[in-house]
Chains A and B, each alone.
Chain A
């Protein structure tokens, strides 16, 4: 069965601190895709990154970086030098070809608050 666990419900940091959001997933499929979405206070869902199961290279985009480790079934997200604008709920999600519904499996989200 597919499952995504985001164990951190809420995280609070002070501006300029680094913060890592954890994501652990479960799937029996060998081909799958992992996503991160950001939901700012305005409520919309913003796509951040997609990673496929065959590419374990870490990715960096500005202050954002992602660490994908198949050995631990984790896809963690790090924000370096956090800013107040990073305050949002962050969702990790899984899609695999075995899903008969074609759906994304979402974690429950991590509420990140960055204080000035």
Chain B
């Protein structure tokens, strides 16, 4: 049971570089989301998706893009990295938006922007 898989686990970027954080789940979950975790801030929602082809913004979407071409994959793109995007990123999934089931989280990606 792989659950939610995130890659890479660590990444260092220079300001202005772009990159994609990968997220895949094998549970056929409709709802997927990206959070960022910053010290003392808890987890804040960046973007979410309720199914293939449907995405929407969370509370801190600026500087990030997402797409959902398949049920399994939900990549997060940083188009032009900024130091303020240094954070730990978590991908999560659960059966659907209205489900009260616990979210399954990936192990996180630790991203540093120099």
Contacts and interface: CB of A to CB of B under 8 A. Distances in A.
Interface stretch (B19-27, B62-70, B79-87, B94-102): B94-102
Contact of B100 (A43, A44, A47, A52): A52
Nearest to A39: B37
A97 B98 contact: yes
Contacts of A9: 40
Contacts of A52: 100
Q: Which of A35, A45, A104, A108 has the most CB of B within 10 A?
A: A45
A44 B43 contact: no
B105 interface: yes
Nearest to A99: B97
Interface string A92-116: 0001010001111011110000000
B26 to A, nearest CB: 17
Q: Contact size class for A?
A: 20 to 34
Contacts, number: 52
B40 A108 contact: yes
A34 B88 CA distance: 23
Contacts of B90: 45
Interface of B: 31, 33, 35, 40-45, 48, 50, 56, 58, 88, 90, 96-98, 100-103, 105, 107-108, 110
20 contacts: A33-B100, A43-B88, A43-B108, A44-B105, A45-B90, A45-B105, A47-B102, A50-B100, A97-B98, A101-B58, A102-B48, A102-B50, A103-B33, A103-B45, A103-B58, A104-B43, A106-B42, A108-B41, A108-B42, A109-B40
Given A50-B101, A95-B100, A103-B45, 6 more contacts: A97-B98, A101-B45, A101-B58, A102-B48, A106-B42, A108-B40
Interface of A: 4, 9, 33, 35, 37, 43-45, 47, 50, 52, 91, 95, 97, 101-104, 106-109
